[in-house]
């Protein structure tokens, strides 16, 4: 019982962090940015879902790598250091993560974390580069990182519960395939 209450409290705090960031950030773009494009939304939910498919330590290491390297990408973006093919990298993350889910790729945890870390750099760069000039960088960063972590949780909980029902694994794989198709469309528009 205590574990359930602790997990619920943790999930609630992660959900409320974006609201806190929005309340102090002026226009709230930091927490809102990951929700503003289908590319970010699909990739971040997919990271959580794929981590559950892999299982074990991947459940926290794979999303953790994404968020940590997203922070790094955000710093690079704030400084407007050139990172070529950012939109292609973001779009390809949707394709690759979708395919990983569709084909149930259980990479070693280190390889999966490294892949999501690379994707995190591209997503973070896009967030940092597009930060409004008058925005507080710290609050903006807390906003986009906490929303990202929340989206990872959405994907992880969704995959966890899907795998508990009879056709859930097939539905999860179908969702991955549909996400990958959407990613192909995004790549074609990014090139």
pLDDT at position 5: 52
Q: Are 30 and 139 in contact (CB under 8 A)?
A: yes
Q: pTM here?
A: 0.84
What are 154-187's pLDDT values in tens digits? Answer: 999 999 999 999 999 999 999 999 999 999 999 9
Query: What element of type H or E holds 1?
Result: none
Q: What pLDDT is stored for residue 34 in this prediction? A: 83
pLDDT of residue 92: 98
Task: Give me the mean pLDDT over the 51-58 stretch.
Answer: 98
The pLDDT tens digits of the residues spanning 87-128 come to 999 999 999 999 999 999 999 999 999 999 999 999 999 999
* Tens digit of each residue's pLDDT (9 = 90 or more) over 30-49: 887 788 889 999 999 999 99
pLDDT on residue 29: 67
20 pLDDT band, cuts 50/70/90, is very low
Q: Dig out the tokens for 83 from the structure.
A: 């990172």
Q: What are the extents of the domains in the chain?
A: 2-190
- Quote the percentage of the chain above a pLDDT of 70: 85
Give me the pLDDT at residue 48, please: 98
What's the mean pLDDT in 139-154? 94
| pLDDT band per the 50, 70, 90 thresholds, residue 9 | very low
Q: Answer whether 131's CB lies under 8 Å from 29's CB.
A: yes
Q: Which of 142, 121, 122 is nearest to 29 (CA)?
A: 142
* Nearest to 172, CA basis, from 163, 185, 184, 182: 163
Report the distance separating Cα 21 and Cα 183, nearest Å: 29
Map 134-185 to HEC letters.
CCCHHHHHHHHHHHHHHHHHHHHHHHHHHCCCCCHHHHHHHHHHHHHHHHHH
| pLDDT band at residue 28 using 50, 70 and 90 as cut-offs | low
Mean pLDDT across 133-154:
91
pLDDT band at 136 (very low <50, low <70, confident <90, very high): confident
Residue 43 and residue 186: Cα distance in Å, rounded?
12
Quick one: which of 179, 129, 170, 188 has its CA closest to 151? 179
What's the burial of 114, exposed, middle or buried (CB within 10 Å: 0-12/13-18/19+)? middle
**Chain centroid to CA 49:** 10
Can you give the pLDDT at residue 98?
A: 98
Of 163, 139, 140, 152, the C-alpha closest to 65 is 152
């Amino acid at each position: 019982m205590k574990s359930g209450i602790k997990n619920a409290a943790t999930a609630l705090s992660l959900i409320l962090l974006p609201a806190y960031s929005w309340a102090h950030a002026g226009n709230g773009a930091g927490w809102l940015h990951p929700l503003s494009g289908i590319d970010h939304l699909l990739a971040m939910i997919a990271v959580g879902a794929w981590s559950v498919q892999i299982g074990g330590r991947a459940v926290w290491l794979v999303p953790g790598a994404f968020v940590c390297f997203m922070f790094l990408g955000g710093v690079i973006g704030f400084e407007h250091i050139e990172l070529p093919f950012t939109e292609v990298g973001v779009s390809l993350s949707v394709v690759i993560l979708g395919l990983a889910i569709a084909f149930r790729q259980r990479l070693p945890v280190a390889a999966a974390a490294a892949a999501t870390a690379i994707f995190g750099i591209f997503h973070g760069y896009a967030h940092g580069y597009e930060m409004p000039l008058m925005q507080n960088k710290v609050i903006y960063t807390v906003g986009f990182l906490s929303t990202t972590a929340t989206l990872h949780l959405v994907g992880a909980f969704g995959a966890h519960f899907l795998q508990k029902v009879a056709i859930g694994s097939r539905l999860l794989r179908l969702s991955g395939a549909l996400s990958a198709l959407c990613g192909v469309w995004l790549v074609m528009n990014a090139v």
